[in-house]
Amino acid sequence: MADQFFRSGVAGIDRAGIDAGLRAHMLRVFNYMGGGLALTGLIAYIVANTALAGIVFGTPLKWVAMLAPLVFVMYMNIKMQTISASTLKTLFWCFCATMGLSMASIFLVFTGASVARAFFITAATFGAMSLWGYTTKKDLTGMGSFMLMGVLGLLIAMVVNIFLASSMMQWVVSVAGVAIFTGLTAFDTQRIKQTYAESAGTEANDKLAVFGALSLYLNFINAFQFLLSLTGNRR
Protein backbone atom coordinates (compact mmCIF):
# COMPACT_ATOMS: atom_id res chain seq x y z
CA MET A 1 0.00 0.00 0.00
CA ALA A 2 2.80 2.39 0.96
CA ASP A 3 4.70 1.47 -2.21
CA GLN A 4 1.62 2.10 -4.36
CA PHE A 5 1.06 5.45 -2.65
CA PHE A 6 4.70 6.41 -3.26
CA ARG A 7 4.52 5.51 -6.97
CA SER A 8 1.28 7.46 -7.46
CA GLY A 9 2.83 10.42 -5.65
CA VAL A 10 5.91 10.38 -7.91
CA ALA A 11 3.67 10.12 -10.97
CA GLY A 12 1.71 13.13 -9.75
CA ILE A 13 4.90 15.13 -9.28
CA ASP A 14 6.13 14.11 -12.74
CA ARG A 15 2.79 15.04 -14.26
CA ALA A 16 2.88 18.44 -12.57
CA GLY A 17 6.43 18.97 -13.85
CA ILE A 18 5.45 18.05 -17.39
CA ASP A 19 2.40 20.34 -17.25
CA ALA A 20 4.53 23.24 -16.03
CA GLY A 21 7.09 22.55 -18.74
CA LEU A 22 4.39 22.39 -21.40
CA ARG A 23 2.87 25.68 -20.27
CA ALA A 24 6.29 27.32 -20.41
CA HIS A 25 6.88 25.83 -23.86
CA MET A 26 3.55 27.07 -25.23
CA LEU A 27 4.22 30.50 -23.73
CA ARG A 28 7.56 30.60 -25.59
CA VAL A 29 5.80 29.64 -28.82
CA PHE A 30 3.21 32.41 -28.53
CA ASN A 31 5.81 34.94 -27.39
CA TYR A 32 7.91 34.25 -30.48
CA MET A 33 4.84 34.42 -32.69
CA GLY A 34 3.55 37.63 -31.10
CA GLY A 35 6.98 39.23 -31.31
CA GLY A 36 7.25 38.21 -34.93
CA LEU A 37 3.88 39.73 -35.79
CA ALA A 38 4.79 42.94 -33.96
CA LEU A 39 8.09 43.20 -35.86
CA THR A 40 6.36 42.54 -39.18
CA GLY A 41 3.65 45.11 -38.52
CA LEU A 42 6.11 47.77 -37.36
CA ILE A 43 8.36 47.42 -40.40
CA ALA A 44 5.38 47.28 -42.78
CA TYR A 45 3.95 50.48 -41.32
CA ILE A 46 7.28 52.34 -41.39
CA VAL A 47 8.04 51.34 -44.98
CA ALA A 48 4.53 52.21 -46.20
CA ASN A 49 4.58 55.66 -44.60
CA THR A 50 8.06 56.83 -45.57
CA ALA A 51 10.13 57.29 -48.70
CA LEU A 52 11.12 53.63 -48.35
CA ALA A 53 7.85 52.69 -50.06
CA GLY A 54 9.04 54.16 -53.35
CA ILE A 55 12.48 52.64 -52.96
CA VAL A 56 11.14 49.15 -52.26
CA PHE A 57 8.10 48.99 -54.55
CA GLY A 58 9.25 51.37 -57.26
CA THR A 59 12.42 49.45 -58.05
CA PRO A 60 13.47 45.82 -58.60
CA LEU A 61 13.85 45.62 -54.81
CA LYS A 62 10.17 44.68 -54.75
CA TRP A 63 11.17 41.20 -55.94
CA VAL A 64 13.59 40.88 -53.06
CA ALA A 65 10.85 41.92 -50.63
CA MET A 66 8.47 39.37 -52.15
CA LEU A 67 10.87 36.41 -52.39
CA ALA A 68 13.12 36.84 -49.35
CA PRO A 69 10.55 35.48 -46.84
CA LEU A 70 10.15 32.33 -48.92
CA VAL A 71 13.94 31.86 -49.01
CA PHE A 72 14.16 32.15 -45.22
CA VAL A 73 11.35 29.61 -44.68
CA MET A 74 12.89 27.12 -47.09
CA TYR A 75 16.33 27.49 -45.54
CA MET A 76 15.02 27.02 -42.00
CA ASN A 77 13.17 23.86 -42.98
CA ILE A 78 16.15 22.42 -44.85
CA LYS A 79 18.59 23.14 -42.01
CA MET A 80 16.26 22.43 -39.09
CA GLN A 81 18.22 19.34 -37.99
CA THR A 82 21.69 20.87 -38.14
CA ILE A 83 21.50 24.53 -37.12
CA SER A 84 21.52 25.66 -33.49
CA ALA A 85 18.52 27.08 -31.69
CA SER A 86 20.17 30.51 -31.47
CA THR A 87 20.79 30.58 -35.24
CA LEU A 88 17.22 29.46 -35.87
CA LYS A 89 15.90 32.30 -33.71
CA THR A 90 17.99 34.80 -35.68
CA LEU A 91 16.63 33.44 -38.96
CA PHE A 92 13.08 33.65 -37.60
CA TRP A 93 13.46 37.34 -36.74
CA CYS A 94 15.03 38.02 -40.14
CA PHE A 95 12.11 36.24 -41.79
CA CYS A 96 9.59 38.35 -39.86
CA ALA A 97 11.47 41.52 -40.83
CA THR A 98 11.45 40.67 -44.54
CA MET A 99 7.75 39.81 -44.27
CA GLY A 100 7.30 43.35 -43.01
CA LEU A 101 8.90 44.67 -46.18
CA SER A 102 6.64 42.48 -48.28
CA MET A 103 3.45 43.34 -46.40
CA ALA A 104 4.03 47.09 -46.50
CA SER A 105 2.07 47.01 -49.75
CA ILE A 106 -1.20 46.35 -47.89
CA PHE A 107 -1.01 49.82 -46.34
CA LEU A 108 -0.64 51.25 -49.84
CA VAL A 109 -3.56 49.28 -51.29
CA PHE A 110 -6.11 49.15 -48.44
CA THR A 111 -7.42 51.80 -46.07
CA GLY A 112 -6.08 51.85 -42.52
CA ALA A 113 -9.52 51.11 -41.11
CA SER A 114 -9.81 48.00 -43.31
CA VAL A 115 -6.39 46.75 -42.21
CA ALA A 116 -7.22 47.29 -38.52
CA ARG A 117 -10.63 45.60 -38.83
CA ALA A 118 -9.20 42.54 -40.61
CA PHE A 119 -6.38 42.30 -38.05
CA PHE A 120 -8.65 42.32 -35.01
CA ILE A 121 -11.11 39.84 -36.55
CA THR A 122 -8.21 37.54 -37.42
CA ALA A 123 -6.73 37.91 -33.93
CA ALA A 124 -10.04 37.05 -32.24
CA THR A 125 -10.64 34.05 -34.49
CA PHE A 126 -7.04 32.89 -34.12
CA GLY A 127 -7.27 33.07 -30.33
CA ALA A 128 -10.48 31.06 -30.23
CA MET A 129 -9.23 28.35 -32.59
CA SER A 130 -5.87 28.10 -30.87
CA LEU A 131 -7.57 27.69 -27.49
CA TRP A 132 -9.81 24.98 -28.92
CA GLY A 133 -6.83 23.20 -30.45
CA TYR A 134 -5.01 23.28 -27.11
CA THR A 135 -7.91 22.06 -24.96
CA THR A 136 -9.83 19.64 -27.19
CA LYS A 137 -9.50 15.91 -26.61
CA LYS A 138 -10.39 15.22 -30.24
CA ASP A 139 -7.55 14.15 -32.53
CA LEU A 140 -7.29 16.83 -35.23
CA THR A 141 -4.85 14.93 -37.43
CA GLY A 142 -7.50 14.09 -40.02
CA MET A 143 -8.70 17.68 -40.17
CA GLY A 144 -5.11 18.90 -40.48
CA SER A 145 -4.40 16.57 -43.39
CA PHE A 146 -7.56 17.79 -45.13
CA MET A 147 -6.57 21.42 -44.57
CA LEU A 148 -3.08 20.82 -45.93
CA MET A 149 -4.62 19.36 -49.08
CA GLY A 150 -6.75 22.49 -49.20
CA VAL A 151 -3.60 24.65 -49.18
CA LEU A 152 -2.41 22.85 -52.31
CA GLY A 153 -5.80 23.42 -53.92
CA LEU A 154 -5.61 27.10 -53.00
CA LEU A 155 -2.22 27.47 -54.66
CA ILE A 156 -3.49 25.84 -57.85
CA ALA A 157 -6.62 28.01 -57.88
CA MET A 158 -4.57 31.17 -57.34
CA VAL A 159 -2.25 30.33 -60.23
CA VAL A 160 -5.20 29.57 -62.50
CA ASN A 161 -6.88 32.83 -61.55
CA ILE A 162 -3.81 34.79 -62.60
CA PHE A 163 -4.82 33.97 -66.16
CA LEU A 164 -8.62 34.03 -65.68
CA ALA A 165 -8.69 37.21 -63.57
CA SER A 166 -12.13 36.17 -62.27
CA SER A 167 -13.50 38.23 -59.38
CA MET A 168 -15.84 35.38 -58.42
CA MET A 169 -12.98 32.90 -58.27
CA GLN A 170 -10.95 35.37 -56.22
CA TRP A 171 -13.86 35.62 -53.77
CA VAL A 172 -14.08 31.83 -53.48
CA VAL A 173 -10.31 31.57 -52.96
CA SER A 174 -10.42 34.22 -50.23
CA VAL A 175 -13.28 32.51 -48.37
CA ALA A 176 -11.55 29.13 -48.64
CA GLY A 177 -8.24 30.65 -47.53
CA VAL A 178 -9.74 32.11 -44.37
CA ALA A 179 -11.41 28.77 -43.53
CA ILE A 180 -8.32 26.66 -44.26
CA PHE A 181 -5.81 28.69 -42.28
CA THR A 182 -8.25 29.11 -39.41
CA GLY A 183 -8.60 25.33 -39.24
CA LEU A 184 -4.84 24.87 -39.46
CA THR A 185 -4.45 27.12 -36.42
CA ALA A 186 -6.27 24.58 -34.24
CA PHE A 187 -4.41 21.64 -35.79
CA ASP A 188 -0.97 23.24 -35.41
CA THR A 189 -1.65 24.26 -31.81
CA GLN A 190 -2.53 20.66 -30.94
CA ARG A 191 0.52 19.39 -32.85
CA ILE A 192 2.84 21.80 -31.01
CA LYS A 193 1.39 20.64 -27.70
CA GLN A 194 1.83 16.97 -28.61
CA THR A 195 5.40 17.26 -29.89
CA TYR A 196 6.72 18.83 -26.70
CA ALA A 197 8.78 16.46 -24.58
CA GLU A 198 10.59 17.68 -21.48
CA SER A 199 13.15 14.90 -21.85
CA ALA A 200 14.17 16.18 -25.30
CA GLY A 201 16.27 18.90 -23.68
CA THR A 202 16.38 22.69 -23.84
CA GLU A 203 18.05 22.96 -27.26
CA ALA A 204 15.57 20.65 -29.01
CA ASN A 205 12.54 22.25 -27.37
CA ASP A 206 13.79 25.75 -28.19
CA LYS A 207 13.93 24.73 -31.85
CA LEU A 208 10.46 23.19 -31.60
CA ALA A 209 9.19 26.45 -30.08
CA VAL A 210 10.56 28.50 -32.98
CA PHE A 211 9.11 26.17 -35.61
CA GLY A 212 5.81 26.12 -33.76
CA ALA A 213 5.77 29.91 -33.70
CA LEU A 214 6.60 29.96 -37.41
CA SER A 215 3.67 27.68 -38.31
CA LEU A 216 1.20 29.71 -36.22
CA TYR A 217 2.62 32.97 -37.59
CA LEU A 218 2.09 31.78 -41.17
CA ASN A 219 -1.47 30.68 -40.35
CA PHE A 220 -2.23 34.10 -38.89
CA ILE A 221 -0.65 36.07 -41.74
CA ASN A 222 -2.37 34.02 -44.44
CA ALA A 223 -5.79 34.15 -42.76
CA PHE A 224 -5.34 37.91 -42.30
CA GLN A 225 -4.40 38.49 -45.93
CA PHE A 226 -7.30 36.43 -47.28
CA LEU A 227 -9.73 38.17 -44.94
CA LEU A 228 -8.39 41.58 -45.95
CA SER A 229 -8.79 40.64 -49.62
CA LEU A 230 -12.35 39.57 -48.87
CA THR A 231 -13.52 42.51 -46.76
CA GLY A 232 -11.00 45.32 -47.23
CA ASN A 233 -11.76 48.69 -48.79
CA ARG A 234 -9.19 49.77 -51.33
CA ARG A 235 -7.78 53.27 -51.45
| Segment 23-76, tens digit of pLDDT | 999 999 999 999 999 999 999 999 999 999 998 888 888 888 889 999 999 999
What is the reported pLDDT for 156? Answer: 93
Give the domain range for residue 135: 2-231
How sure is the predictor about 19, in pLDDT bands with cuts at 50, 70 and 90?
confident
Check whether 116 has a pLDDT greater than 90.
Answer: yes
Predicted structure pTM score: 0.89
Q: Does residue 130 have a pLDDT over 90?
A: yes
In the prediction, which pLDDT does 209 show? 94
Domain count along the chain: 1
Q: For 6-15, 131-140, 170-179, 213-222, which range has the lowest pLDDT when averaged over its residues?
A: 6-15
What phi, psi does 197 have (nearest 5°)? -145, 115
Residue 94 CA to chain centroid, in angstroms?
Answer: 15
SS (H, E, C) 124-193: HHHHHHHHHHHHCCCCCHHHHHHHHHHHHHHHHHHHHHHHHCCHHHHHHHHHHHHHHHHHHHHHHHHHHH
Residue 94 predicted with pLDDT over 60? yes
Average pLDDT over residues 185-213: 89
Res 6 pLDDT > 70: no
Alpha-carbon gap, residue 30 to 41, rounded angstroms: 16
